Structure 1
Amino acid sequence: MKNLFMAIMALLLPVVASAQFSISGKITDQSGQVLAGATVSITNPDVSAQTNNRGAYSLTGLSAGTYTVKASYVGFTPVTRSITVNANQTVNFTLTSNLFTTEEVTVTATRANKTSPTAFTNLSKKDIQKNNFGQDLPYLLNQTPSVVTTSDAGAGVGYTGIRIRGSDATRINVTINGIPYNDSESQGSYFVDLPDIASSINNIQVQRGVGTSTNGAGAFGGSINIQTTTRRDTGYADISSSAGSYNTFKNTINLGTGLLGGKFSVDGRLSQITSDGYIDAASSDLKSYFVSGAYYGKNSTLRANIFSGKERTFQAWNGIPDYIISDNSLPNHRTYNELGLMPNGQRYRDQVDDYLQNHYQLLYDQKVSDKLSFSGALHYTRGKGYYEEYKAGAAVTDYGLTPVHYGTDTIKTTDLARRRWLDNYFYGVTYALKYNPQSNLNFTLGGAYNQYKGAHYGNIIYTEQSAGIPPNYQYYRDDAKKNDFNIFTRAEWRLGQVILNADMQYRRIYYSFLGFDRNLNNVQQDATLNFFNPKAGITYLFNENNNVYFSYAVGNHEPNRDDYTNSTPASRPKPETLHDFEAGYRTSGDVFKGGINLFYMLYKNQLILTGALNDVGSPTRVNVDRSYRAGIEFDGKVQATKQLSIGATATLSTNKIDNYTQYLSNTNDNTLVPIYLPKTDIAYSPSFIASGEIAYSPVKGGEIALLNKYISQQFLDNTMNTNPAGFPATGNNRFVRDRMLKGYYVSDVRLRYNFAVKHVKNIAIGLQVNNIFNREYEANGATYPDIEGGQVVNYNYFFAQAKRNFMSSVTISF
């Protein structure tokens, strides 16, 4: 028997020795983003493979033995491992960005990674470009969790808005290369001032909740962290044109030298977007450029960015009155725009918003040692522009003038046109120092000092009657100044399968503004605020692809310009404070990638929207003592087959104010009538938000995708349609609507096809059909209820969104 066994083994030995095995897996970066086109190689034997668009690779035909496997990707530090093969092996690699080639130190200092106890979504350049047909940047983020987008012009070109977890743009922190973009005074982010910035973006991270410490205003709903163009090793030229509904056209040229002499690169873009808009006279004429030059040293990078945007948009910030939008007999009942209409029925042709904004950034990254790296930036932004408005029957006393007497006639009112100017400067420095003393421990020290100076003034440029107004008469002026300093430190410590996170930020703000004193006179005032924002979290790693986390964070946020200037010292608004609790589970596999997140956001003195807009379309706000947002978010993507992927997001939440009182004006006796509610919904906060994308690639280079979005009903104010006791709403007018936005479901279709021909690197053809089922819906609105004749009358305005429309595009790349 012994001899028989030895004989059988001798016969099988060549078979065993010649058995073929494989090494396969996935390559990602530190944030969990897959790296398509990365190389995995073995030197002996000489075997290599590249990762596909899912970051997956496979090395096949390997005999049993020990191999040295190397994973590499341009801009990342290669990783080498020794792998013993006696069966099929799964080996995943996580590559770390190389400091001086990827220029991500400034950006990553304020970003979350795949093990951070923070809810976030990463969007790559490819994710952004496949949806970039010319709409404003918020629309390119529409498929991310808890996001609601709106458009004043109805089709996404011109002024747009974004809300995350029900929080409007003034609570969403936006940075570009780590530099604050939110307006220092209004705190909003106006992407219309940077048209087609998406064509110069390398990647975006959208965080939800307080998130990591960052520069600029605190994040109450979320943050949008943008990184612009980075290094490309080969030269390129892209020519892109889009055309579609409402005479919408987009033309873009992108050029780049690639790496010259291993040291230098220059990239540039020139764009123009024009559109008539879905809403009447809501036209846009947008121009922009982006130029970036970089020097790459052995351990450092110096990059200079200059980019600019010029926008001229016809005003459409009022919305459509409810009695018009509900009257189907009117041909323009969904597109009516009352702004700029003169008494003769014609439209004032220059009822526009005209603004130019120039940005200058100097970014420096330095690898000091293997454990220490530094990043710093100098920035300067110059903005100047105006709103021009026609005003019929304006009282001359409102403009600091006395009535003019002509014989027996007295000119007390006149039709006029005015320009309200904003002339501002924003400049400062940001920095980040990253220290990794051990492989399981790292520290980040960062911060910024920024200063803003803004002049607000108004001129009368035309009057119908001779009212004694000199040419270009300046009727008001308001100079503002704001200093913003912050410093933060963050540490991450890995203990086996547990990662501990700690993050602390100190922020100091000084703001000088013109506001009302106790005697209701406008005088220069100031406010100084000091905020401490601690954060802590823990992550447990089941394995490389699965983890659970919990975090607690405190955020503080200052009032904005309108909050201050419309108050007196006695009624000055209070800063907001947020206690944010987050817990979740994340998984990443070849077939499914996604996660689930629970949040509880407890506010003190939240500045909630009242539902009304001021005279330039900005929402009015008021403090409430106690309020909260609580919910659950889901985000997932299934790669069902090589050709078919299915993605979905969903947010279910409750958003409440405790003990809220709203007052309605009684026009009969000029009194205020209270509505007291022990618990009520926060305005503009839908309880259910969902999105989905089904993408199928029938042929190589081709894709057809169905995109869906559902938003549940939301209230325009904080009363849940409750009226004061004894004052019912009017019921005999068929045009009356409650103070709410109805829920809506919208579907879009996107088609893309890429192919190459001789002497052309790639030709991309695209078509996007929006709202394919031709739904009529409104994504935003405003309300001004009062009491007339013993009944509540709702004066509602709605922002109707475009019915079925399309955009087509072609991009030629050399």
Structure 2
Amino acid sequence: MKNLFAVFIALLLPVMAAAQLSVTGKITDKQTGEALPGATITLSNSAVNAVSDVNGKYHLDNLKSGAYTLKVSFIGYQNTSKNITLNTDAVNNFALSRSTLFTEEVTVSATRATEKSPTAFTNLNKKDIEKNNSGRGFEYLLEQTPSTVVTSNAGAGVGYTSIRIRGSDATRTNVTLNGIPLNDAEDQGVYFVDLPDLASSVDNIQVQRGVGTSTNGAGAFGASINIQTTTRRDTAYAELNNSAGSYGTLKNTVSFGTGLLGDHFSFDGRLSRMVSDGYIDRASSDLKSFFLSGAYYGKKSVLRLNVFSGYEKTYQAWDGVPEDSVKFGNRRYNELGYINSTNSFYKNQTDNYTQNYYQLLYNQQLTDKLSFSGALHLTRGYGYYEEYKNNEPVSAYGLKPVIIGTDTLANTDLVRRLWLSNYFYGATYNLTYKPNNDLNMILGGAYNEYRGDHYNNIEWTQQSTTIPPDYEYSRNHAKKTDFNIFSRAEYRLGKVLFYGDVQYRHISYSFLGFDQDLKNVQQQVELDFFNPKAGITYQINSNSNVYGSVAVGNHEPNRNDFTNSSPQSRPKAEHLTDFEAGYRINESAFSGSINGFYMLYKNQLVLTGSLDDVGGAIRTNIKDSYRAGVEASVRVKIAQQLSWFVNATVSTNKVKNFTQYLQNYDTGTLDATQYKKSDIAYSPNLTGSSTISYHPIKNGEIAFISKYVSRQYLDNTSTQSRSIDGYFVNDVRLNYNFSIKGLKNIGVGLLVNNVFSKKYQSDGATYPDIESGKVANYNYFYPQAPVNFLASLNLKF
């Protein structure tokens, strides 16, 4: 495979010498002359398009001579076009006039960083998203951003997928969808499996690393992911997107939109289905979703209603594969649902969940200097996971042992369902005041409320227990309110931009938990957080700047932290002071950044590496810990048809004075080991990615994509026998776009993952104890698939 790939690339290299033409230029505001970053530039009769950079500049490459129509569009401005004839390289500048219709850009702008903000961030536009939207989990869109590790429970990228940024998992990553919190209110995780194929309805994404700017929802301890869904498209469209590949993976998507009707209305929709057998045995996925959106555009207002839903049924694979199986070559073994008495597996060991979303978004230009954005939202979620349990004590389910003759039946095999039914609703708002180009002020906030019922049923028992069908053995109710208000200002004085941001957040949480007598009673927790931020940016020239910032973040414990502890042992809220400094440059053929960070934690809740019986992570407070590192990224245009994007993060992630307790089965006690300084679990010291993009022909691309992740420890002891080996994985992506009569575009693609069939694990868990005087490691891993593929066909009408 390596030799074939090398020969393939060598055969294509001579094409680089072929003469190709280019169109370059700059997009500006006609009234002010300011650059317009993010404008879309397209060529008629061609699939080539570009997006203007932070300086308003754009490049269209690999063009043949001929006549074209050059079109430019930018939200908030009138579209414009120009007929051109290419015989040589051409320069075409555009000055756009403001649109008479208001736009939706203020919906998410209050929670986003700009190109001059003293914050480390990465933007992904619709073109970036479409190029990588092959059918894998949403997190894979972000895999090539700095400091990122993405993994798949099923091993093939479909089903439960997860992301860590700077070593922090999704419970520490603030995720918003159109400015509305997406994190689960109780466990604070983000489950994109509940919104399959969300990427097909996303317009753009911003990933902020560190505390970042103030936003709604949970505090960001590793990063923020800000997602904006479908925005205005002025012309009607219909799209069919299909992917098929290894392990029975199949994705079908139908999208449509009316464009702008009567100069005021637009409607968009999407219907998706995804299935996969998974690489791990019995790790199948059956996913469905839809997205509907309607909007009204006025001269000074926009009103949009989004209604969307996702359904997932996945065979449970969240415990991973035992280490012994991995070592013996059975990397696909899934032991969940094993039935001891028959040496078989329970066929309905599945997770089943539905989430329905309703968002009403409103934007209003109040004056020339003041605008308002607000939203009402409701999320309805319900579902269960079903599992087979061997030889369970009936007393654990509130039942009495059954006496049959002289036999007392105290244990039985059983099937149980653990249910969750919840509502999450609230309102968000922000006011933006911009009296001139030197001052921008934002006042924003939100009030959100969560109500959730947790209840558990027994569906079947092997032994008679005298219980009725669907017997409910436990139920509890939780309520959480979350209020925040923040204010942010940016003031430019010459070449210096001053940044200030302050947020107040109040949380009230009612839950069923242990009291001081270890009895389950309803309890209440009130938390108040104050999160200030400050920074400065110096603009060296129009293409580069340096910046520095300090930000404070606070974060509440999650549901399990509360319910699995009493008031005396309850974990404390976490506190983070985040220092960031960096340099950015953006030239026509070269752009890059380097960012240094020092994240100083107090009472960080650190993963121990163990999971509870429902796959939840077990965490403990660490008084002192830190993350420090340097992130660097470079994008360079090597030749007219060849470009290279590469990034790397070098970091050290340490906990101080960590005590690990291991169960000693020889003595029946807990043995403690003190570690003065050790590595934080799941925090690699080196991550890096590379994308080499080559355009051998017009509208065709070959991309060679690489990812490196160094060793990750499964607990906080820096013990190599409880760790994940580092790995270096390579993918190949092929894309080609063309058009025929009756079709605007036909896109064919092929994604070959792990092209060299590297055997590796990207995630895992550990349960060490002491047996026969020695530490016994019970490690579980998530092996990822060997070489596999996804082929796609996209039709645009």
SS of residue in 2 equivalent to 1:37: strand
The offset of 1:102, in angstroms, is 3.4
Question: Residue 750 of structure 2 corresponds to which residue in structure 1?
Answer: 767
Q: Which runs of 5+ in 1 are unaligned?
A: 1-22, 40-49, 60-70, 81-88, 722-736
- Which of 457, 463, 479 pairs up with 1:465? 463
Question: Aligned letter for 1:75?
Answer: I
The 8 Å contact of residues 39 and 74 in structure 2, kept in 1 or not, is answered as no
Query: Partners of 1:802 and 1:58 in 2: how far apart?
Result: 37
Within 5 Å, which residues of 2 pair with 1:314-333?
A: 314-328=315-329, 333=330
Query: Partners of 2:487 and 2:98 in 1: how far apart?
Result: 21
Cα RMSD after superposing both structures? 2.4
Question: Residue 146 of structure 2 corresponds to which residue in structure 1?
Answer: 145
Question: Aligned letter for 1:592?
Answer: F
SS of residue in 2 equivalent to 1:774: coil
Query: Partners of 1:152 and 1:499 in 2: how far apart?
Result: 44
Query: Partners of 1:468 and 1:250 in 2: how far apart?
Result: 46
For 1:643-668, what per-residue CA distance to the aligned partner results, in whole angstroms no more than 9, with x for missing partners? 11100010000000111111111111
Question: Residue 301 of structure 1 corresponds to which residue in structure 2?
Answer: 302
For 1:531-550, what per-residue CA distance to the aligned partner results, in whole angstroms no more than 9, with x for missing partners? 00000000000112100000
Query: Partners of 1:778 and 1:551 in 2: how far apart?
Result: 36
For 1:224-267, what per-residue CA distance to the aligned partner results, in whole angstroms no more than 9, with x for missing partners? 00000000000000011110000000000001001001010100
The 8 Å contact of residues 537 and 550 in structure 1, kept in 2 or not, is answered as yes
CA spacing shift, 1:28–1:123, aligned 2, 3 Å: farther
Q: 1:608 and 2:609 equivalent? A: no
Question: Residue 211 of structure 1 corresponds to which residue in structure 2?
Answer: 212
SS of residue in 2 equivalent to 1:258: coil
- Which of 21, 39, 52 pairs up with 1:35? 39
The offset of 1:33, in angstroms, is 4.7
Within 5 Å, which residues of 2 pair with 1:633-672?
A: 633-672=631-670
SS of residue in 2 equivalent to 1:140: helix
CA spacing shift, 1:128–1:543, aligned 2, 3 Å: same
Q: 1:340 and 2:337 equivalent? A: yes
CA spacing shift, 1:32–1:72, aligned 2, 3 Å: closer
The offset of 1:133, in angstroms, is 1.0
Query: Partners of 2:642 and 2:624 in 1: how far apart?
Result: 46
CA spacing shift, 1:132–1:58, aligned 2, 3 Å: closer
Query: Partners of 1:325 and 1:58 in 2: how far apart?
Result: 48
Query: Partners of 2:448 and 2:456 in 1: how far apart?
Result: 27
The 8 Å contact of residues 506 and 532 in structure 1, kept in 2 or not, is answered as yes
Question: Aligned letter for 1:670?
Answer: G
Query: Partners of 1:98 and 1:676 in 2: how far apart?
Result: 65
Query: Partners of 2:289 and 2:24 in 1: how far apart?
Result: 45
CA spacing shift, 1:447–1:492, aligned 2, 3 Å: same
For 1:189-221, what per-residue CA distance to the aligned partner results, in whole angstroms no more than 9, with x for missing partners? 000000000000000000000000000000000
The offset of 1:25, in angstroms, is 4.3
Question: Residue 714 of structure 1 corresponds to which residue in structure 2?
Answer: 712
Which segment drifts farther, 23-32 or 204-213? 23-32
The offset of 1:468, in angstroms, is 1.6
Question: Residue 75 of structure 1 corresponds to which residue in structure 2?
Answer: 75
Q: 1:776 and 2:759 equivalent? A: yes
Question: Residue 678 of structure 2 corresponds to which residue in structure 1?
Answer: 680
For 1:403-431, what per-residue CA distance to the aligned partner results, in whole angstroms no more than 9, with x for missing partners? 01111121111111000000000000000
Query: Partners of 2:58 and 2:400 in 1: how far apart?
Result: 79
Q: 1:552 and 2:538 equivalent? A: no
SS of residue in 1 equivalent to 2:108: helix
The offset of 1:73, in angstroms, is 3.2
Within 5 Å, which residues of 2 pair with 1:157-236?
A: 157-236=158-237
The offset of 1:349, in angstroms, is 1.1
SS of residue in 2 equivalent to 1:467: coil
The offset of 1:318, in angstroms, is 0.7
Q: 1:382 and 2:365 equivalent? A: no
The offset of 1:369, in angstroms, is 1.2
Q: Sequence identity of aligned pairs in percent?
A: 61
The offset of 1:439, in angstroms, is 2.2
Within 5 Å, which residues of 2 pair with 1:232-243?
A: 232-243=233-244
Query: Partners of 1:583 and 1:353 in 2: how far apart?
Result: 43
The offset of 1:438, in angstroms, is 2.5
Question: Residue 474 of structure 1 corresponds to which residue in structure 2?
Answer: 472
For 1:122-165, what per-residue CA distance to the aligned partner results, in whole angstroms no more than 9, with x for missing partners? 00111011111110111111000000011100011000110000
The offset of 1:76, in angstroms, is 3.3
SS of residue in 1 equivalent to 2:134: coil
Question: Aligned letter for 1:764?
Answer: G
With normalisation by structure 1, the TM-score equals: 0.89
The 8 Å contact of residues 361 and 378 in structure 1, kept in 2 or not, is answered as yes
- Which of 554, 559, 567 pairs up with 2:565? 567
Query: Partners of 1:78 and 1:272 in 2: how far apart?
Result: 36
Question: Residue 795 of structure 1 corresponds to which residue in structure 2?
Answer: 778
CA spacing shift, 1:447–1:92, aligned 2, 3 Å: farther
The 8 Å contact of residues 38 and 74 in structure 2, kept in 1 or not, is answered as no
Question: Residue 510 of structure 1 corresponds to which residue in structure 2?
Answer: 508
SS of residue in 2 equivalent to 1:157: coil
Question: Residue 16 of structure 1 corresponds to which residue in structure 2?
Answer: none
Question: Residue 68 of structure 2 corresponds to which residue in structure 1?
Answer: none
The 8 Å contact of residues 73 and 79 in structure 2, kept in 1 or not, is answered as no
The offset of 1:276, in angstroms, is 0.3
- Which of 610, 622, 625 pairs up with 2:623? 625
The 8 Å contact of residues 388 and 418 in structure 1, kept in 2 or not, is answered as yes
CA spacing shift, 1:274–1:200, aligned 2, 3 Å: same
Which segment drifts farther, 625-634 or 344-353? 344-353
CA spacing shift, 1:527–1:306, aligned 2, 3 Å: same
The offset of 1:323, in angstroms, is 1.2
The 8 Å contact of residues 26 and 92 in structure 2, kept in 1 or not, is answered as yes
User: Between Structure 1 and Structure 2, whose CA radius of gyration is higher?
Assistant: 1
The 8 Å contact of residues 100 and 299 in structure 2, kept in 1 or not, is answered as no
Q: Which runs of 5+ in 2 are unaligned?
A: 1-22, 61-70, 81-89
SS of residue in 1 equivalent to 2:261: coil
The offset of 1:35, in angstroms, is 2.5
Query: Partners of 1:496 and 1:351 in 2: how far apart?
Result: 63
Question: Residue 261 of structure 1 corresponds to which residue in structure 2?
Answer: 262
Question: Residue 13 of structure 1 corresponds to which residue in structure 2?
Answer: none
Query: Partners of 2:100 and 2:689 in 1: how far apart?
Result: 36
The offset of 1:796, in angstroms, is 0.7
The offset of 1:92, in angstroms, is 8.7
The offset of 1:90, in angstroms, is 10
The 8 Å contact of residues 244 and 805 in structure 1, kept in 2 or not, is answered as yes
Within 5 Å, which residues of 2 pair with 1:390-469?
A: 390-469=388-467
The 8 Å contact of residues 510 and 526 in structure 1, kept in 2 or not, is answered as yes
Query: Partners of 1:716 and 1:98 in 2: how far apart?
Result: 54
The 8 Å contact of residues 75 and 97 in structure 1, kept in 2 or not, is answered as no
For 1:460-516, what per-residue CA distance to the aligned partner results, in whole angstroms no more than 9, with x for missing partners? 011111112221111111100000000000000000000000000000000001111
With normalisation by structure 2, the TM-score equals: 0.91
SS of residue in 2 equivalent to 1:162: strand
Question: Residue 26 of structure 1 corresponds to which residue in structure 2?
Answer: 26
The offset of 1:642, in angstroms, is 2.7
For 1:341-398, what per-residue CA distance to the aligned partner results, in whole angstroms no more than 9, with x for missing partners? 2121222111000000000000000011110000000000000000101011111101
- Which of 747, 755, 758 pairs up with 2:738? 755
SS of residue in 2 equivalent to 1:76: coil
CA spacing shift, 1:354–1:573, aligned 2, 3 Å: same
CA spacing shift, 1:33–1:186, aligned 2, 3 Å: farther
In the alignment of these two chains, the number of paired residues is 747
